[in-house]
Amino acid sequence: MESRINLNSFFLPLLGFVLVLLLWQVSSKTWAPSLPTPGRTWELSKPYIIEPLAKRGEMDQGILRFTWNSLLLVAKGYTLALLIGTPLGFILGMSKIFTKLFDPLIQVLKPISPLAWLPLGLVLFQKSTPSAIFTIAICSVWPTVLNTAIGVRNVPQDYINVGRVLKLSRLKMLYKILLPATLPYMFTGYRLSLGSSWLVIVAAEMLTGTPGVGGFLWQEYNSLIYEHIILSIATIGLIGFLLDRAMLAAEKRVGAILA
């Protein structure tokens, strides 16, 4: 039974992958002639994967080098999002008036796409890098804000009563009780925010033209090298998945401490 589960959890995903490859192959041979085949994609992507850290030119680098550049840009916007989003979430969670004031606005701002924020960023900051960081931050801040607020609202009354019986000051109540009790929710928010900020990377780098996965993707589209678009897409997906897994592990660790 045990080995069968292992078999399923290994072979079934592999089978899914093969099926998609097959569909891709058939598609590029039939109804989508401009779509490069899997074989050709691999052929043209090989130099970027085999030498992932190579730097042959500004826009001709190994895939890991591109990824690293993209991660640096995302890290800036993401850090900004956490620095703004966490305290905002706390205030929102603690004050009913604040919730009434801003919650509807947040619900309206949340679904706006990165492509809509970019021009506003350019208007505000004139330069492309700050506006890219602004776009990443504003698109990824919402999960942190909302999850932190939910976490604060869900702190068990028992813990708050302990704080009241012990006559903790407001500050001590915050960092001895509210903060640790909210931590699992905050981490869920951080994980979702990281996912959102990574989603923005193509849009942000399209604008900045920096050498990253997104910038590479856009450049290769303009150069009509479609194989590299697929390489970039696959890389973005894989990196996003890895980031999510890493954050999930961190989240579980935090959750285990508070169980």
Partner 1 sequence: MILRVNNIDKRFVTSSRPREVLRDITFEVAEGEFVCIVGYSGAGKTTLINLVAGLLRPDGGEILFDSNPADGPSLERSLIFQNYSLLPWLSALANVELAVAQRIPKAPKSEVTTRARRYLEMVKLGHALDRRPAELSGGMRQRVSLARGLAMEPKLLLLDEPLSALDALTRAELQEELIRIQQQERRTVLMITNDVDEAILLADRIIPMSGGPGATLGEPVMVRLRRPCDRRTLNFDLEYQRTRKAILTYLLTHGPGQKSQNAIPTTLQPLAFSLQPSEEVA
In the complex, the residues that contact partner 1 under the rule CB under 8 A are: 158-159, 161-162, 164-168, 176-177, 180-181, 183, 257-259
- Among residues 224 and 259, whose Cβ is nearest to partner 1? 259
Residue 60, strand partner residues: 57
Give least dist CB 86 to partner 1, A. Answer: 18
- Among residues 2 and 158, whose Cβ is nearest to partner 1? 158
Q: Sign of the CA dihedral 161, 163, 167, 172?
A: negative
Give least dist CB 165 to partner 1, A. Answer: 5
Nearest to 56 by CA among 48, 68, 67: 48
* Tokens 């001590």 sit on residue: 172
CA trace torsion 150, 197, 73, 130 (10° rounding) = -80
Give least dist CB 250 to partner 1, A. Answer: 15
Q: Report CA-CA distances (Å) from 77 to 10, 39, 130, 180, 236.
A: 36, 36, 9, 25, 17
For residues 136 and 77, give the distance between their C-alpha atoms in angstroms, rounded to a whole number.
Answer: 5
- Among residues 6 and 154, whose Cβ is nearest to partner 1? 154
Give least dist CB 188 to partner 1, A. Answer: 17
Give least dist CB 160 to partner 1, A. Answer: 10
For residues 4 and 38, give the distance between their C-alpha atoms in angstroms, rounded to a whole number.
Answer: 31
Tokens of 63: 């895939």
- Among residues 77 and 184, whose Cβ is nearest to partner 1? 184
- Among residues 22 and 258, whose Cβ is nearest to partner 1? 258
- Among residues 157 and 222, whose Cβ is nearest to partner 1? 157
- Among residues 55 and 172, whose Cβ is nearest to partner 1? 172
Give least dist CB 212 to partner 1, A. Answer: 38
DSSP character string of 175-210 = IIIIHHHHHHHHHHHHHHHHHHHHHTHHHHHHHH--
The region, left, alpha or beta by phi > 0 then psi within -120 to 50, assigned to residue 211 is beta
Nearest to 144 by CA among 224, 90, 74: 90
Give least dist CB 184 to partner 1, A. Answer: 10
Cβ–Cβ under 8 Å, residues 149 and 89:
yes
